[in-house]
Chain A
Amino acid sequence: MRRQSRQDRPRSGVRGRQSLPRRILGIGLAAVLALVTVTTAGCWDRTEIDEQLHILSGFLDLEPDGSLRLTTEVLALGIGGGEGGKGGGGTHAVFSTRGRSMQEALWNMTWVAEAVPNVSHMALLVVGEDLAREGLRDILDSMVQNYQVRRSLLLAVAPGKASDLLATGLTASRHSEQYIGMLRNAQGGAGEVTMLQLNDFLRALSTDGVDPLAAQLTILPAPPVEHVEEHTQGSVPRMEGGGGGSEGGGPGGAPPGLASLRGAAIFSGDRLAGFAESHEAMGLTWLRTPVRNHLLWVPTGPGRQGFTVRVSASAPSHKVHEVDGRLHIECRVVVECDVNELAMPAEMFTPQDIAQLVTLLAAHIEGQIRSGVAYASEVLGADPVGFGRHLSRHDPQLWSRLRDRWPELLRDADYRVEVEAEIITTGMLLRKQLPPATRAPGTGP
C-alpha cells in the first residue's frame, strides 16, 4: 500500500501551526470574552440584579373607579422602599400601584420602587373577587403576553380583596417562600382543590366543554394561639419576627387572620360564577383529577365520631351519553387509601369492620361528588368537571348537537355516581384500645 503523502492528507483547521491572523483573532476573542465575563457578572440584560424588582407574588384588585390595583411582594435586594413600599429592611417588601391595565400598573411600580420590575420569578397571582367576576381573559392574556411571565405561576381567587391577604402575614419575610412551597405541594392533591397553575386555567379557558376552576385563598379568623388547629388544609400560622412586608396586626390592633386554601372558585367562561365550600370543592376534585396524599375525615356520627383515611391514589372516569333525549352521566372513582385514625365504635380491623369503613367512605365521597356537581351545574351553571369536554372527545357528533345548550343541559341530567373504595392498610394497629369493662370475654388483653 502506498504511504499517504503529506499533500494527500485531508487538512483540518485545527491541526498544524496556526497562522498569525488566526492567532491574533483567537487572542482577541479570549480577551473580549474575559472582559465581558468580568464586567457583566451579576448583570441581567444591562441591569444589575440588585437594581431590579424581583416580584414573587402579585395581588390584583379592581378599584371603585375601574382601574386595577396591583400589590406585589418583592425580594428586597437593595431596595430602599419608595412611597408605596412598606417594610424596608427585611428580605421582602410590599409595593402597591394602580393602572388602567395590568401592564401600566406594573410599569408604575418602577416609579414607586425606583427599580425595574422583573416578573420572571413571580410564583403566585391572587385575583380579588370583584375583578374575577368581571372576567379575567384580558388580564391573563396581558400576563402571558409578557415574555417574562411563566405559565407555571399559581393562580388563586380571594373572596373580597386579594390585597387583604397581605395583612395575614401570608407574605411576611421567609414565610412567603414557605407558603408558596406549601401551595406547590397542594398541586399534588393535598388540598381540597388542587392548586392550579396559570396554564391549567388558560388551557380550560381555550377548550370547549369545560369551565375553569381556581383555588380559593381566603382569610380565616385570627387564631387564639400562635399555632392554631384548623379543620382546613394549608393555613399558615403567623409567626413573629422576620420584618417583612406585613403591617402586623389587623384592624383595631386585633391579630390578623390566617390565609387559608379552602374551597374553590368556579368560573363560567372567564368570569367568576361563585365559590364552592370545602365539601363541594372536594367533590369536584374527585372527578377532575387523580387525588394523591390527601387526608380525608369521614364523619360517622355526631361530634368527633368518624375516621381518617389518607388517600394514596384515586382514578376518576366518567361517561356521558344520551338516552331518550336525556343526558346520562356516569361518574366512577376508584380510591385507594390507608386508615389513619378511628374514632368510632369499631373494635377491631376485621374484614367486616373494613367492609363497613369502605361503605362509609364510599358513601361520603359519593355525597361530596353529588353535592359538588349539583352546586356547580344547578346553582352556578358551570361545568368545571368537563363533562362537555368528555363528550366532545368521545362523541363529537352528539357534542356538536348539544354544545349550544351547554352547560344548561347538565341541570336536568341523570347522574349515576359509583365510588369503589379500597382500604390497603390500617397502620400499626390490629385493634383499638378499649376500656377493660367493655372487652368481650376471650378477646385477650
Chain B
Amino acid sequence: MSMFGTPGQTPTTGGTISNGQAALIAIGAVLAITIFVLPGPPVAEAGNDGYWSPMLATIPSVVQIAVFVWLGKRYDWQSPYQYLPKLLGRWLGGLVKLLYAFLFLFIAASVSQEIAKVVGAISMPMTPPQAFVILTVLAAAYVAWLGIEAFGRLAQLILPLLLGVLLFIPVSLIPQLDLGYLLPILYEGWLPPLRGALAPIAMRGEAALLLAFMLPHLRVPRKALRTGVLVTCVIALFLALNAVTLISLLSPGEVARLSMPVLAAARLVRLTRGIEHIEFLILGPWTIALVLKVGLFVYFATVGVAAVARSQWRPYVLPTAVLAGALGSWMYPNSQTLAYVIGEVWPAYSITMILLLPLLLVAVSLVRGRPAKGDSDGSSGRDRAPGGRDTAKGGGRLRRRRPERNGQEAWS
C-alpha cells in the first residue's frame, strides 16, 4: 500500500462533505482571522460607523460566491483547477491555476504568522515565533494530508465552540458597553463605511474562494449558492456584532489604533471575583480554527500544484506546508509588515483574484459558449470526489466510484 493513497485503503481521500460542513469550514476559515484583524481598518476609515462596513461587504461577497457557483455549475460542478484549462486553454489555464495555487499558499503563509503573533502575545512572549510556526505547519500538513473530510469533521467539532466564545464575549461585556459611541449614525454618509468595507470584502472573499474549490466535494452542489449566502450572512453578523461591541467598549479611536482589539476586549471580561482572565478560553478553539485554515489553504495549494504537475497531490502536502511557513517568516519579519500587508496589499490582491478574475472568466465563458459535454471528460466534478454520493442529480443514490489515475483524484 502506498502511503500516498491507494483508493479505498487510505485513511481518507478527497472525499465528500455535506453543505453544512462546507459552510462551517468557510465560516471558521474566515472568522478565525477577521475577528482579530478586521475591526481596525473599517473603524479607522469610518469611525463609529465602522460596524456598517462588514454588513456592506456582504453584497460583493454574495456576488463573488455567485460568480464561482455559476462557473462551477457551467462545468458540471468541477473545481476551478479542473475547468480552467478547458476555459482558457492548457497553458493559460495552467498559469491561472498556478496563480490560484500561489494565492492559497500566500494566505496559508500569512495565517501561520498570525498564530505566532497572537499566542506569543497572550501567553508566551518569550517563545520564539518560529516554534509556533513550525508546530502550526506540521499540524496543518497532517490535517491536509487527511483530506477534505477531515476538515469537515474538524469544523464540526471546533466551530460551535469558537462561535460560542465569540458570542460569549459581547454578552459578558454588556454592562461595560456604552452604545452612545455608535452615535451619530452615518453623519458623514455612506462613503466612509464603503471605504472601510474594502478590507472586509477582501477577507470574506476567502469564503467564496473556498466554496469554489470545495464544489466537487459538496454533497449537494446545486445548493452551493444557498450555502454561500448563509456563510456570508453569518460572517457579516458576527463581524458586525464584534465591531459594535468593540466600538462601544473601547471607543472608535482606541479600536483603530489597537493591533488586536478583540483580545483587549476579552481581557476586560470579569464575571465575578475570581472568574476573570478568560482570554485563554478563546485560544483553544481559535488556535484549532487557525490550524484548520492553514491546513485548508495548504491542501488547496497542494492540489493546485499537483494539478499543474499532473501527479498525485499527497507527496506535495508537507513541502507545501513547509514552504508556507518559510514564506510567511520571510514575508513578515515583523508584525508591522503583517499588518501593512493585510491592511494595504491584501485587499487589492484579493479583489483581483477573487472578484475581477472570476468575472473575467465568466466573460470568457460567455464568449466561448456553453461547454460541450466532452469538455468535462464525460464526467462531472462530483464524480471526481472519491467516495462521494451524487445527490445532485441522482437523488441520493449511491454511485460506484470511477477508477482514478494513480489512486488519486484526476485534477487536471
Binding site for B on A (CB under 8 A): 4, 7-8, 10-13, 19, 21-22, 44-47, 120-121, 144, 147-148, 150-152, 181, 184, 197, 199, 202-203, 206-207, 389, 392-394, 396
Stretch from B83-91, B266-274, B290-298, B326-334 at the A interface: B266-274
Contacts of B273 in A (CB 8 A): 181, 184
Known: A11-B387, A45-B127. A152 touches B187 (CB 8 A): no
Could you say which of A10, A12, A197, A389 has the most chain B C-beta atoms within 10 Å of its C-beta? A10
Q: List 27 A-B contacts (CB under 8 A).
A: A7-B401, A10-B387, A10-B388, A11-B8, A11-B11, A13-B11, A13-B146, A45-B123, A46-B127, A47-B126, A121-B277, A148-B125, A152-B268, A152-B270, A197-B268, A202-B251, A202-B254, A203-B178, A203-B251, A206-B254, A206-B257, A207-B181, A389-B180, A392-B184, A393-B183, A393-B184, A396-B184
Q: A7 is contacted by which of B8, B13, B126, B277 (Cβ under 8 Å)?
A: B8
Q: Using CB atoms, name the residue of chain B closest to A13.
A: B11
Bound state CA distance, A151 and B176, in angstroms?
12
- Is B149 within 8 A of A207, CB to CB? no
Contact B13 A203 (CB under 8 A): no
Overall SS of chain B's interface: loop
Contacts of B253 in A (CB 8 A): 206-207
Q: CB within 8 A of B1: which of A19, A45, A152?
A: A19
Given contacts A46-B126, A199-B250, A206-B251, contact A8 B388 (CB under 8 A): no
Residue interface mask B242-254, A partner, CB < 8 A = 1: 0000000111111
Beyond the given pairs A7-B8, A11-B387, A13-B12, 19 more chain A to chain B contacts, judged by CB atoms under 8 angstroms and listed by A's residue number, are A8-B398, A10-B16, A11-B10, A11-B13, A22-B11, A45-B123, A45-B124, A46-B126, A147-B125, A150-B267, A181-B273, A184-B273, A199-B268, A202-B251, A203-B251, A389-B180, A392-B184, A393-B183, A394-B183
Provided the pairs A147-B125, A152-B276 are in contact, do residues A13 and B149 lie with their beta carbons within 8 angstroms? yes
Q: How far is the CA of A203 from the CA of B252 in the complex (A)?
A: 9
What is the distance, in angstroms, from A177's C-beta to the closest C-beta of chain B? 10
Q: How far is the CB of B2 from chain A (nearest CB, A)?
A: 11
Give residues of chain B (1-55) contacting chain A, Cβ–Cβ below 8 Å. 1, 3, 8, 10-13, 15-16
Chain B residue nearest to A198 in the complex (CB): B268
Residues on B lying within 8 angstroms of A by beta carbon are: 1, 3, 8, 10-13, 15-16, 121-127, 146, 149-150, 176, 178, 180-181, 183-184, 187, 249-254, 257, 264, 267-268, 270, 273, 276-277, 387-389, 398, 400-401
Rounded to whole Å, the gap between the CB of A189 and the closest CB of chain B is 12
The residue in chain B whose Cβ has the minimal distance to the Cβ of A4 is B398
> Contact at B267–A21, with CB atoms within 8 Å?
no
Q: Which residue of A lies closest to B187 (CB)?
A: A396
- Once bound together, how far apart are the Cα atoms of A60 and B388, in whole Å? 66
Q: Is the CB of B121 within 8 A of A147?
A: yes
Q: How far is the CB of A118 from chain B (nearest CB, A)?
A: 10
Measured CB to CB, the closest approach of chain A to B18, in angstroms, equals: 12
The CA of A339 and the CA of B257, in the complex, are separated in Å by 47
Contact A207 B398 (CB under 8 A): no
**Nearest 7 interchain pairs by C-beta:** A206-B253, A13-B11, A393-B183, A203-B251, A13-B12, A10-B387, A147-B121
Give Cα distance in the complex from A393 to B11, angstroms: 60
Main secondary structure of the interface of A (DSSP, over half): loop
Let me know if A394 and B184 touch, CB within 8 A.
yes
Indicate if the CB atoms of A45 and B267 lie closer than 8 Å: no
Q: How far is the CB of A327 from chain B (nearest CB, A)?
A: 19
**Cα(A147)–Cα(B276), bound, Å:** 17
Task: Report Cα–Cα, A47/B251, bound state, in Å.
Answer: 36
Which residues on A sit within 8 Å (CB–CB) of B257? 206
By beta carbon, the residue of chain B nearest A6 is B8
User: Which chain B residue shows the least CB distance to A15?
Assistant: B11
Q: Are A203 and B254 in contact (CB under 8 A)?
A: yes
* Cα separation A393 to B47 with both chains bound (whole Å): 13
**Residue on A nearest B3 in the bound complex, by CB:** A21
Interface contact tally, CB-CB below 8 A: 89
- Tell me which residues across on chain B come within 8 A of A203, comparing CB atoms: 178, 250-251, 254
Tell me if A12 and B149 are in contact (CB < 8 A): yes
User: Which residue on chain A has the smallest CB distance to residue B146?
Assistant: A13
Residue of B nearest to A397 (CB): B187
Can you name the residue of chain B whose Cβ is closest to the Cβ of A177? B273
> Complex: how many Å from CA A140 to CA B268?
16
Is there contact, CB below 8 Å, between B401 and A8? yes
Q: How far is the CA of A120 from the CA of B249 in the complex (A)?
A: 20
CB-CB under 8 A from A21, the residues of chain B are 3
Give the complex CA separation of A22 and B9 in angstroms: 13
**Residue of A at shortest CB range from B181?**
A207
Contacts of B125 in A (CB 8 A): 45, 147-148
Question: Please, how many angstroms separate the alpha-carbon atoms of A392 and B15 in the complex?
Answer: 57
Q: Give Cα distance in the complex from A207 to B3, angstroms.
A: 60
CB of A11 within 8 A of CB of B124, answer no
What chain A residues lie within 8 Å of B277 (beta carbons)? 120-121, 150
Residues of A within 8 A of B1 (CB): 19
Q: B267 and A151: CB pair below 8 A?
A: yes
Shortest A349–chain B CB gap in Å is 34
Chain B residue nearest to A181 in the complex (CB): B273
Known: A45-B126, A151-B267. A13 touches B150 (CB 8 A): yes
Q: Give CA–CA (A207, B47) in the complex, Å.
A: 11
Residues of chain B contacted by A45 (CB below 8 angstroms):
123-127
Residue of B with least CB distance to A199:
B268
Complex CA gap A197/B11 in Å reads 53
Give complex CA distance A151, B398 in Å. Answer: 57
Q: How far, in Å, is A335 (CB) from chain B's closest CB?
A: 20
Contacts of A148 in B (CB 8 A): 125
Q: Is the CB of A393 within 8 A of B180?
A: yes
Contacts of A150 in B (CB 8 A): 267-268, 277
Q: How far is the CA of A396 from the CA of B183 in the complex (A)?
A: 10
CA distance A429 to B270 in the complex (A): 38
Closest to B122 in A: A147
A36 to B127, CA, bound (A): 15
Q: In the bound complex, what is the Cα–Cα distance between A19 and B145 (angstroms)?
A: 15
Enumerate chain B residues within 8 angstroms of A184, measured Cβ to Cβ: 273
- Shortest CB-to-CB span from A165 to chain B, Å, is 22
Nearest chain B CB to A216's CB is how many angstroms away? 22
Residues of B within 8 A of A151 (CB): 250, 264, 267-268
CA separation between A19 and B251, bound complex, in Å? 55
Nearest CB to that of A202 among chain B residues?
A: B254
- CB-CB nearest in chain B for A200: B176
Complex: A7 Cα to B8 Cα, angstroms = 7
Bound-state CA distance A283–B121 (Å) is 41
Complex CA–CA separation, A21 to B273 (angstroms): 49
A22 to B142 alpha-carbon distance, docked (Å): 11
Q: With CB as the reference atom, state the residue of chain B lying closest to A185.
A: B273
Q: Within the assembled complex, what's the spacing in Å between the Cα atoms of A7 and B398?
A: 11
* Bound-state Cα–Cα, A47 to B400, Å: 58
Which B residues lie within 8 Å of A121 (CB)?
277
Bound complex: CA A148 to CA B263 (Å): 11
Q: A residues within 8 A CB of B11?
A: 11, 13, 19, 22
- Whole-angstrom distance between the alpha carbons of A121 and B274 in the complex? 12
Q: How far is the CB of B7 from chain A (nearest CB, A)?
A: 9
- In the bound complex, residues from chain A placing their C-beta under 8 Å from that of B276 are 152
Q: Nearest CB to that of B387 among chain A residues?
A: A10
Q: Looking at the assembled complex, report how far the CB atom of B131 sits from the nearest CB atom of chain A, in whole angstroms.
A: 10
Closest to A5 in B: B400
| Highest count of chain A CB atoms <10 Å: which of B180, B251, B268 | B251
- A contact residues around B121 at 8 Å (CB): 147
Contacts of A46 in B (CB 8 A): 124, 126-127
Residue of B with least CB distance to A152 = B268
Residues of A within 8 A of B123 (CB): 44-45
Complex interface: chain A residues within 8 A of B10 (CB): 11
